[in-house]
Structure 1
Amino acid sequence: MTFMREKSADAFRNIGEMAEALGVRTHILRYWEEQFPMLRPLTRAGGRRLYRPDDVALLHTIHRLLYEEGYTVKGARRFLTEGGAQDAQPKAPAPAPAAPAPTQSSISAFDFGALQAVRDRLASALAAA
C-alpha cells in the first residue's frame, strides 16, 4: 500500500492533478489554454502539461470567475487582461437590491400586446428554422 504525500506549494502540477483540484475535466483545462493567452503551462515530451505555481493560481482565478462569479469566458478573459488579475482575491457578492412588489395597477398596466408580438416573432423564427 502506498501513501501519496502532499506536494509543496512550489511543485509543478500535471493536468490530471489540476483537473481534480478544480473539479473539472481535463479537456476543460485544455480549452482554457486556448481561450486565455496568459495561461501557458510547460509542455514536456508527448505533450504533457506541467502547471507552475503561477499557472495554478491563474487556474484557480479562472475557475472562480467562471463558476462562482458567473463570468462568461470572454468576460473573464477581459477581466484578466485589463488588470483584474491583481484584484483576483475572492469577493463577497453584493446583495441584490430588493425589487418592489408588483401592485395590481402595475400588472394591469403591463403591455400584453408587446409580449404577444415577441411571442409571435419567436414562434415564426422557430418555424423557419
Structure 2
Amino acid sequence: MAGAPSSGPVFDDGKAPDAMRTIGEVASALNIKPHVLRYWEQQFPMLRPLKRSGGRRLYRPDDVALVATIDRLVNREGYTLKGAKRALSQGAVAETETVSAAEAGSSDAREAQSVTVVPQLRAIRDRLAAALNA
C-alpha cells in the first residue's frame, strides 16, 4: 500500500502527516480499541508496525492506512477476518479503492468501477451458487 497515507485518517496533533503514530493515537483516530489492533497484527501478516524496546508499537503511515482499510472491510462492509485477509492479499481491495478515490463522482469513475466490481460480484455469486449446490 505504498503511497497510501492519504487514505488513512487525518490526525490533528501537530505532527507531520508522515510521522509515526503510537497504538493509542491510531486507536483513538479510528475509534478502535488497542487490543483489537494487537489482535489484527496477529491475523494480518502484512500489518507489522515497528516495535521499540518494551514492545512499544509505532505505526507508519502505510500501517495506519492498512488498519483503516481493515476496519472498513470488517466493520463497515461485513467481511470476516479471513475474507478481509483474502481480499487484501489478492489486491482486490486496492483496485476498488484506487478507482473510487481517484475518480469519485464522474461517469468515467462509475464505468471504471463497474468494470472492476461486476466481475468480482459475478465470481462471488458463482461461488455461492456452487456452495449451495454442493
TM-score, with structure 1 as normaliser: 0.63
Aligned residue identity for 2:53: A
Q: Deviation digits for residues 5-50 of structure 1, max 9, x if unmatched? A: 4322100000000110111110000000000000000000100000
C-alpha root-mean-square deviation of aligned residues, in Å? 2.2
Does residue 45 (structure 1) correspond to residue 53 (structure 2)? The answer is yes
Q: Which runs of 5+ in 2 are unaligned?
A: 1-11, 105-134
Deviation at 1:83, TM superposition (A): 1.2
Shift of 1:69: 0.6
Query: Comparing both structures, which one devotes a greater share of its residues to helix?
Result: 2
- The answer to whether the 8 A contact 1:11-1:52 is kept is yes
- One-letter identity of the residue aligned with 2:94: Q
Q: Which of 11, 19, 22 is 1:11 aligned to?
A: 19
CA shift in 2, pair 1:88/1:11, >3 Å:
farther
Match of 2:124 in 1: none
Percent sequence identity is 60
2:16 is paired with a residue whose SS is coil
Q: Distance in 1 between matches of 2:89 and 2:48?
A: 14
Shift of 1:88: 5.4
Amino acid at match of 1:46: G
Larger RCO (CA under 8 A, 6+ residues apart) = 2
How many residue pairs get aligned? The number is 90
Whichever residue aligns with residue 58 of structure 1, its letter is L
Structure-1 residue corresponding to 2:62: 54
Structure 1: 5+ residue stretches without partners: 93-129
1:1-129 to 2 correspondences below 5 Å: 5-87=13-95, 89=97
Report the structure number with the largest CA radius of gyration.
1
Aligned partners of 1:88, 1:38: CA distance in 2, in Å?
Answer: 19
CA distance in 2, matches of 1:43, 1:61: 21
- Secondary structure (helix, strand or coil) at the match of 1:9 reads coil
